[in-house]
């Protein structure tokens, strides 16, 4: 219902006071929680309130995110949660990393957005920094705001450069939800209601080098070779699925042989998440286009990019606005990106992810052997870890059980029975040990309700 300008103004001013940090009495906090729930119901999407099973099933669906620092989030009632979700991969440097916040506020005080007409120094600076930390001769960058924008740009660049139309993607692959990226999605639930997007997409099983080779050969034989093969070095939303050794190398060779661009979707795996700076580094592979997002903005600003080689970039030069966007490469986001890379290097986040990921996976695998009827698999690379449960309902109960114990995790987009563990790469060892204890508690609780006999220490040794 349309309000009078005076009423709308009063509403904006009340929210601005709250944003400014006006202290709230207990009753006012509860009122705000209630108001937020009602606004989600009426003005956002009421489905979202009950969809988030970890919070819904633990009876806490009204938890209101309020503040955070490092690996701890706090809700409006002051309850604290150890963050093992990482905002689906944005908080690799932790929540509100002070150096990243400082870079953004420094720039904010100078100027927030850009005129679009003058040269933007931090866009150039970030592109130069990225050229120095990405593999091979990847050195030209285009900045946008979401992972899906990076994939859209890569699709357009690959079409422009190769003058081909068809793309190859993987079963279970997740590349974003705008129409082009969605067409590459290897799961029908999200893709099919919006068909048709890109018509020319083929899918192959992820990690199967022989199937990949056959698909390339088939496309070549019918005279319709691929413009690009879009692949995650480790599938994130499919549940931290790691391909067999040699798979990406094989993909690189096939792409080179058939003149197809290898498009590495590192929106989730990039900047240290898997225990190396880039997921492709584990295979010593240089893609033709590298897509970045999520943690690139340091958990402070939305920022994504697609990065390619000067030779491929040449097709964008004659008309540099053939692909453009108003907010892409804005100074706030680029300041955040520069600071995020600086923190990644200074704190050696990839090495931290490798060490902590190994420890976590070892301990989770031990728990898996101890509670095999509750937890069927623990897998992943670095701090991109997936826990597989026998059913969606057990997956929900596990996430809810952890939420009740003050640990934030969530299922993946592809499967609710696969729960992700994706903490900040610099998370303290003590917090990880604390999390492991709470995970064991939760597994024990579920096992008891399933009337699963708990194995003895001897059996699990």
Closest to ligand PLP by CB, 176 or 426: 176
Separation of alpha carbons 249 and 255, rounded Å: 10
Q: How many residues bind ligand PLP (CB under 6 A)?
A: 15
Q: How many Cβ atoms sit within 10 Å of the Cβ of residue 450? A: 14
Query: Both ends of the chain: CA-CA distance in Å?
Result: 64
User: Which of the residues 157 through 196 are near ligand PLP (CB under 6 A)?
Assistant: 174-176
Q: Phi and psi for 304 in degrees, rounded to 5?
A: -145, 170
Task: Among 54, 58, 92, 148, indicate the residue that binds ligand PLP (CB under 6 A).
Answer: 148
Q: What are φ and ψ of residue 379, in 5° steps?
A: -145, 175
Helix/strand/coil for 107 = helix
Residue carrying the six token digits 């850009």: 114
Residues from 69 through 88 that contact ligand PLP (CB under 6 A): 88
User: Can you tell me which of 293, 298, 328, 331 binds ligand PLP, judged by CB under 6 A?
Assistant: 293
Task: Give the residue from 357, 350, 355 showing the smallest Cα distance to 271.
Answer: 350
CB of 146 to ligand PLP, least distance (A): 4
Which residue, 232 or 281, has its beta carbon nearer to ligand PLP? 232
Strand partners, 230: 263
Q: Is 146 in the site for ligand PLP (CB under 6 A)?
A: yes
Q: Residue 236 CB, nearest distance to ligand PLP (Å)? A: 4
Which residue's beta carbon is nearest to the bound ligand PLP? 147
294 is catalytic: yes
Kindly state the smallest distance separating residue 108's Cβ from ligand PLP, in Å: 22
Distance (Å, whole) CA 195 – CA 308: 29
Catalytic residue among 174, 226, 389, 403: 174
Residue/partner pairs of 108-113 with CB below 8 Å, 24 or more apart: 108/332, 110/331, 111/331, 112/330, 112/331, 112/332, 113/327, 113/330, 113/331, 113/332
Question: Which element (helix H / strand E) includes 386?
Answer: strand 384-388
Q: In the 3-class helix/strand/coil scheme, how is 34-47 assigned residue by residue? A: HHHHHHHHHHHHCH
Question: What gap in Å lies between CA 257 and CA 342, rounded to an integer?
Answer: 37
C-alpha 53: how far from its chain's center? 19
Minimum distance from residue 15 beta carbon to ligand PLP (Å): 26
Stretch that binds ligand PLP, among 43-51, 55-63, 146-154, 391-399 (CB under 6 A): 146-154
With CA atoms as reference, report the closest residue to 439 among 458, 459, 424, 420.
Answer: 420
- Interface segment toward ligand PLP; rule CB under 6 A; list 26-34, 144-152, 209-217, 429-437: 144-152
Walk across the sheet containing 261-265 and list its strands.
140-144, 304-308, 289-292, 261-265, 226-231, 166-170, 201-204
**Nearest to ligand PLP of 76, 264 (CB atom):** 264
Strand 226-231 with 261-265, pairing:
parallel
Q: Which pair of tokens denotes residue 238?
A: 């499919």
| Annotation marks residue 174 as catalytic | yes
Smallest distance, ligand PLP to C-beta of residue 85, A: 12
**Residue from 180, 233, 236, 426 that binds ligand PLP (CB under 6 A)?**
236
What's the rounded Cα separation, in Å, for the pair 65 and 62? 9
With CB under 6 A as the contact rule, which of the stretches 5-13, 110-118, 230-238, 333-341 interacts with ligand PLP?
A: 230-238
**Residues 340 and 94: beta-carbon distance below 8 Å:** no
**Is the Cβ of residue 107 or residue 146 nearer to ligand PLP in the bound state?**
146
Q: Quick one: which of 232, 281, 288, 422 contacts ligand PLP (CB under 6 A)?
A: 232
Rule CB under 6 A: which of 349-388 touch ligand PLP? none
Q: Which H or E element spans position 359?
A: helix 349-370
- In the complex with ligand PLP, which residue's Cβ is closer, 54 or 146? 146
For the chain, give percent helix, strand, coil, nearest 5: 50, 15, 35
CB of 181 to ligand PLP, least distance (A): 7
CB of 291 to ligand PLP, least distance (A): 7
Q: How far is the CB of 237 from ligand PLP (least distance, A)?
A: 5
Nearest CA-CA partner of 454 in 373, 385, 397, 359: 373
At 293, list the tokens. 């997002």
> Which among 149, 250, 288, 294 is annotated as catalytic?
294
Beta carbon nearer to ligand PLP, 299 or 401: 299
Tell me which of 75, 265, 281, 288 is the catalytic residue. 265
Question: Rule CB under 6 A: which of 248-287 touch ligand PLP?
Answer: 265, 267-268
Give whichever of 293 and 380 is closer to ligand PLP, judged by the CB atom. Answer: 293
Site string for ligand PLP, 24-63 (x = CB under 6 A): ----------------------------------------
Catalytic residue set: 174, 265, 294
Q: State the residues that interact with ligand PLP by CB under 6 A.
A: 88, 146-148, 151, 174-176, 232, 236-237, 265, 267-268, 293
């Amino acid at each position: 219902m349309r309000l009078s300008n005076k009423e709308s103004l009063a509403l904006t001013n009340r929210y601005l006071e709250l944003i400014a940090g006006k202290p709230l009495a207990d009753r006012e906090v509860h009122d705000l929680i209630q108001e937020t729930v009602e606004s989600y119901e009426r003005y956002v999407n009421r489905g979202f309130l009950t969809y988030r099973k970890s919070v819904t099933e633990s009876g806490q669906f009204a938890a209101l995110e309020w503040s955070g620092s490092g690996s701890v989030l706090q809700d409006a009632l002051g309850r604290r949660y150890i963050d093992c979700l990482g905002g689906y991969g944005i908080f690799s440097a932790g929540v509100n990393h002070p150096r990243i916040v400082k870079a953004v506020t420094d720039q904010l005080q100078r100027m927030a957005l850009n005129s679009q007409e003058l040269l933007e120094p931090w866009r150039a600076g970030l592109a130069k920094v990225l050229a120095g930390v990405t593999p091979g001769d990847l050195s030209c960058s285009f900045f946008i705001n979401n992972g899906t924008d990076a994939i859209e740009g890569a699709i357009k660049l690959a079409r422009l450069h190769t003058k081909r139309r068809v793309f190859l993607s993987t079963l279970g692959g997740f590349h974003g939800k705008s129409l082009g990226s969605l067409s590459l999605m290897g799961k029908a639930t999200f893709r099919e209601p919006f068909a048709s997007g890109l018509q020319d997409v083929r899918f192959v099983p992820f990690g199967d080098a022989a199937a990949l080779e056959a698909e390339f050969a088939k496309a070549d034989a019918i005279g319709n070779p691929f413009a690009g093969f879009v692949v995650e070095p480790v599938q994130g939303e499919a549940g931290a699925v790691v391909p067999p050794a040699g798979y990406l190398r094989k993909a690189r060779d096939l792409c080179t042989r058939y003149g197809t661009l290898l498009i590495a979707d590192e929106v989730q795996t990039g900047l240290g998440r898997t225990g190396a700076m880039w997921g492709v580094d584990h295979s010593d592979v240089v893609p033709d286009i590298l897509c970045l997002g999520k943690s690139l903005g340091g958990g402070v600003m939305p920022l994504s990019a697609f990065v390619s080689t000067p030779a491929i970039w040449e097709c964008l030069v004659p008309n540099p606005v053939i692909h453009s966007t108003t907010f892409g490469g804005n100074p706030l986001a680029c300041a955040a990106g520069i600071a995020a890379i600086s923190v990644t290097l200074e704190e050696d986040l990839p090495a931290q992810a490798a060490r902590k990921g190994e420890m976590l996976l070892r301990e989770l695998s031990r728990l898996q052997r101890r509670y095999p009827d509750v937890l069927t698999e623990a897998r992943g690379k670095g701090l991109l870890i997936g826990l597989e449960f026998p059913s969606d309902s057990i997956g929900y109960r596990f996430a809810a059980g952890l939420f009740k114990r003050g640990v934030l995790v969530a299922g993946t987009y592809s499967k609710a029975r696969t729960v992700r563990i994706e903490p900040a790469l610099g998370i303290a060892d003590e917090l990880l040990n604390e999390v492991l204890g709470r995970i064991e508690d939760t597994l024990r609780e579920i096992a008891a309700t399933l009337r699963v006999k708990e194995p003895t220490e001897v059996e699990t040794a």
